[in-house]
Structures are given as C-alpha cells and as structure tokens.
Amino acid sequence: MKQENQLPLRGILRPRFLVRVLAHTCSFLIGVAFQAYIARVSRVDTNIGGSEHSRRSFEDKTTFDPCTTGIARGVPTFKLREDLGIILEAEGLHIGAELGVQHAYFSKTLLSAWVSNREYHLVDVWAKQENYVDVANKGQSEQDEIYAAAMENVKPWKSNIHVCRNFTTNCVHNYEDDHFDFIYVDARHDFKGVLQDMQLWWPKLKQVGGARLCEDLG
C-alpha cells in the first residue's frame, strides 16, 4: 500500500532510468578498456623481430620488449589481419609461412595484396587429429576436400607456393634458420601447441627485420 506522504519518482530520478544510465556507462567503459587492450596487444605482437631480439630465445620476450628498446624495426600497428598484405608489401618483405592453412582463405587475401611475395609456405597436416578438440579438426574425407579447396584458392600464386602437409613440428625441420620474413602461427590453438610452434619456428625467422603474427593468443 502507498503511504500518504510518499511522492512518486519522476523523470531522471526513476530507478529504472538510473539503472539504464549505469548500465550504458559500464558498457561504454568496458568497450574503451577493451579497445585499449586490443591496441596494446596488436602493437606488441606485430612488432617483434629484429636482430638482437631474434638471437634471444622466445622466452626472453617477457623481459625484452623490442617496441620500447628501438632495436626492432617493427611494423605499423594494424587492427585487421586483412591489412597485413599491404603492410608486408610496404615493408619490402618477400618470404612468408602460414602455420595452419585450412581452406587458405587467409592466404588468398594476404597474397592478393602482397604482390612482391616470392615464397609462401603452407604448413598444415590436413588430417583428423586424435585427442584434439577444435572446430577445425574435421573428419579425414572433409580434410581432403579442404586441402583440395586450399590448393584451388592459391592457384594464382602457384609458382610461389610450397606445401608441407604434415605437423608443424615436423615441417619446421625442412627450413634453414633465418629464412622467413614473416611467420603466421595459426595451427593448433591450445596453449601448449601455440607455445611449441613459437619456440620451434622462432629461429626460422630472419634475425633482421622478421615479423611474426600470432592469432588466438587469449
């Protein structure tokens, strides 16, 4: 029952209105914080490379930030991986590898913009893996179809394309150290797999001016 002396709350004083304002403010602040975090992560992950840094082991990255030392040349910050081809082109880089290729959708986008690419190495097992939970871990017949689609997608660049259809941990032994300008790590997505790929492939990146791009580092 309403008390005699209790006045109804109107306009901006209504609790529902105040809750809405609070919710909008919170989501705005979370959005700003998230964008700042993304900007920081992309700046760090796209600026690792360079002579002194590359001679150190990957673990040293925690104590050695090439972005602040100025040793690495680095590449400009970017938001979308679709912009990477233009950046690699502008940086005058020529040799790349993609670990985890699937349909080669990204390879196609990248190579369309990276016109002075000379070698692009596709590394993927294109096979059903036991004990590995991932949406990309399809059955073998589907993997064979995906492989065929990938080859079709990169056909326009076939003179540059080199394929290693095996585990990243096996393919890595096919390459000399300091070979690549750019390595994109996008194969296994669990922590151990990503770390292992980064450790094994790190020496394959050129000591001077190499760029490494990582996806799904969350």
The answer to whether 111 and 89 are in contact (CB under 8 A) is no
Which residue, 123, 117, 132, 36, is CA-closest to 79? 36
Rg (CA), the chain: 23
Quote the least distance from Cβ 32 to ligand SAM, whole Å.
28
**Cβ closest to ligand SAM, residue 98 vs residue 181:** 98
Quote the least distance from Cβ 143 to ligand SAM, whole Å.
7
**Cβ closest to ligand SAM, residue 95 vs residue 150:** 150
- Which one-letter amino acid corresponds to residue 135? V
Binding site for ligand SAM (CB under 6 A): 98, 100-102, 105-106, 124-126, 136, 167-168, 186-188
Quote the least distance from Cβ 136 to ligand SAM, whole Å.
4
**Cβ closest to ligand SAM, residue 67 vs residue 214:** 214
**Cβ closest to ligand SAM, residue 73 vs residue 103:** 103
Select the residue whose beta carbon is closest to ligand SAM and give its number: 100
